[in-house]
Amino acid sequence: MTNETWGHVLSELQKTVGKNNFTTWIEPLEFGNLTDGVATISVPTTFVGNWVSRNYGDQILRHLAHAGAKVQRVEFVPKPNGAVHAPAEAPKAKRAKAKPVDDIELPGAPLDQRFTFDSFVVGKPNALAHAAARRVAEGGPVSFNPLFLYGGVGLGKTHLMHAIAWELQTRRPDLRVVPIALGAAGPILGAAHLAFS
């Protein structure tokens, strides 16, 4: 399989998964090789590999097959130390020293400064979610882990996710917080997820 074929697969995936999901989840992927029907794809982290495998693995397999690759299975392999390679088109630069694991850029959506607890409007449909989000943002142990926000459009899932992230960054600057947009789970429902370590 050639880089041109992989480029075609990426182009088709962008059409089906949307720009934001493509940028967050698909763009960091790098085609490794195709051996005995197994396509090996490098991913920045195990978390990204598991998420892409669950959510886009079948689509990637289907697009590879449609592009003419004799593939039966796709395997996502984390790059050593989460190293992210520059795109093939980028000019070669001097090699920098490897970053410590704590300094590695994690993929995720940027935080929106407008979405804080102070600007959140609490109503009957989102009062429980707001209380749970506040509890998580305190940074202590909680009886519910993970917190998964799920509901109709406009109820504040994304707002609460960002508010938690802002609050945690203020209270616990030692944490690395990554908001992840999961997109719509149906015609009017969606989900929001936040990862921190």
Range 109-196: architecture per CATH: 3-Layer(aba) Sandwich (3.40)
pLDDT in tens, 177-193: 666 655 444 333 444 55
- For the chain, the structural domain boundaries read 3-85, 109-196
pLDDT in tens, 11-21: 888 888 888 88
Coil/strand/helix, residue 164: helix
pLDDT in tens, 131-168: 988 888 887 777 766 777 877 778 888 888 888 888 88
How far is the C-alpha of 45 from the C-alpha of 24, rounded, in Å?
Answer: 13
40, β-bridge pairs? 33, 75
Range 3-85: architecture per CATH: 2-Layer Sandwich (3.30)
Mean pLDDT is lowest, of 85-89, 117-121, 148-152, for 85-89
What are the backbone dihedrals phi and psi of residue 151, each rounded to the nearest 5 degrees, phi first? 175, -175
**Predicted model pTM:** 0.43
Mean pLDDT on 83-91: 40
pLDDT at 119 over 70: yes
Q: In terms of Cα–Cα distance, which of 64, 61, 63, 55 is closest to 24?
A: 55
DSSP state of 23: I
pLDDT of residue 81: 54
How far is the C-alpha of 90 from the C-alpha of 79, rounded, in Å?
Answer: 19
Of 111 and 69, which is predicted with more confidence?
69
Q: Where are the beta strands (DSSP E) in the chain?
A: 30-35, 38-43, 73-78, 149-152, 177-184, 189-196
